Amino acid sequence: MLITPGRFLRVIAIQRVLIRHGFDEMLFATPWLRSLSFLRFLLPWNWMHRHYDSRAIRLRRAMEELGPVFVKFGQILSTRRDLLPDDIAEEFAKLQDHVPPFPGAQARTIVERAYDQPLSTLFSSFDETPLASASIAQVHVARLLDGREVVLKVVRPNIRRVIERDISLMRALAESAERYSSHAREFKPTRVVTEIEKIILDELDMLREAANASQLRRNFENSSVMYVPEIFWRYTRQNVLVMERVDGIMISNTEALLAAGVDLHQLAATGVEIFFTQVFRDHFFHADVHPGNLFVRPGAPGEPAIFIPVDFGIMGSISEFDQRYLVENFSAFLDRNYRRVAELHVESGWVPRNTRVDDFEFAIRTVCEPIFDRPVKDISVGQLLIRLFQTAQRFHMEVLPQLLLLQKTLVNVEGIGRQLDPDLDLWRTARPSLAQWMKDRAGIRNLVREAKQSLPRWMERLPQLPEMVFDVLDQLKDGRLEIMTRDVELQEIRREVREAHRRLVYAVVGVGLLMAAGMIDGNPHILATDLEHFPLAGWVVGALGFVALLNALRPRRER
């Protein structure tokens, strides 16, 4: 990685933040450096006693101070409860952007450059005082020429350069960790960094966020329980999003909701139904649900309250393949059919095909039985998924990004629902959505719909079918038909054989060179060339032999 002055200064700044939050204390507490912990007191900033909060709180505060890339890094890590200690995962889930706003006059300039014309030609008013400020963008209130109130989401100036710089540093650290630590290789930090980069760069694109909002608005166009603000595409650019301004009560303000006559029990149940509707009906769900992104508009007497989501930068989608296995998993869990849960994980490819189903079944039963030994309404679906992922990690489960987003969102939805209604029974609330999904997939109507969708493809390939059949028959008749298979275990055996051969060659060469070094030191005239004028010849040959032996002992290269 090229070290530029900007990167060097950023590294220094990161070090100062970590030292200020006592990161060196945590570093020396690790098993590898615990025996050298006395060296920490030789560092000048530790000469005076300082009081530290818990390690999880310090890590969260350090990430918030380091900026958007590190905040997103912590937020993504908070979904990997299978890899992080519980205290750190809980604290990372609280990560929020705390970034001072940039000047309103600068925001006006950014917007005018995006439109290439003065704001007065598009808006009758523009409030330079930001309504909200985050690490990626900040929000300003404006009014269109026709009198409608809108909000403008303006991307921070030069933020892409800051993000790319921090991502490059993070990737270099991740690559080093994977190179020198087997535990880090299991964690796959480079893949996490790539995921962070994709999420943040997607959030920089206001056109993408506007498209997400428009899709969600279409999905709930005729809904009586959810309203998605309108996007004004005429005024939206890559770094400026213009959206209808909506009023509502923040969902965490329960006192205001009660004062407005909102039934919190019904509101919690409706929120859960909306989430499962997005997942199983639309395959497309809001994946950044937290109290700051969710508002409620009280309904008229006798009518339900209306949910109003905002901030559509992170959305998730689930394929029908994953949907089917999720529904069957939920049903098997409720029936305590752990054998079926284990089989579903193998069938879906979430765990390797060679996983022993009976071992996996026993591990799942060990996790789930203590949880199910309580009233159903007290069972946390989110915590159950977290424990399941932790168990599956031991069986080398590759947790897919879409499942991580789903788990994260489900935990947040359940948390908000339980704040509104502590007695919320998420299982019972979710059952109608799951049952409806199974009914739709198993019904005649779904078969007819899928046939209609596939018919054009079938018609296109139908004329080729006779020729393909005759071609296969001719190959079979002439003995030219070959079936190619890929045996993963056979390939692994071949790799092991090649690796053993490599080690043997290096070992033989190394031992030979070491023997030659001893003979040269004992008798410099042993070779035709007089080596008396080269007193270090034996050492050089011995060093080469030692290097060859090290190569023979080196662990197998990762593939």
Max CA separation in the chain (angstroms):
107
Beta bridge partners of 138: 133, 154
Catalytic site residue from 288, 311, 322, 421: 288
Q: Is there a catalytic annotation at residue 288?
A: yes
Angstrom distance (rounded) from CA 361 to CA 295: 42
Task: Map residue 37 onto helix, strand or coil.
Answer: helix
Tell me the three state secondary structure of residue 240: strand
Integer-rounded Cα radius of gyration of the chain: 31
Cα distance between residue 211 and residue 313, in whole Å: 10
Task: With H, G, I as helix, E, B as strand and everything else as coil, classify residue 237.
Answer: strand
Cβ neighbourhood burial of 43 (10 Å; 0-12, 13-18, 19+): exposed
Where do the H-state alpha helices sit in 283-400? Answer: 320-334, 338-347, 357-372, 381-393
How far CA 558 is from CA of 174, 178, 184, in Å, comes to 15, 10, 12
Contact yes or no for 64/17 (Cβ under 8 A): no
- What are the phi and psi torsion angles at 377 (to 5°)? -70, -20
Inter-residue contact 458 to 299 (CB < 8 Å): no
Q: What whole-number distance in Å separates Cα of residue 44 and Cα of residue 16?
A: 13
Catalytic residue set: 288
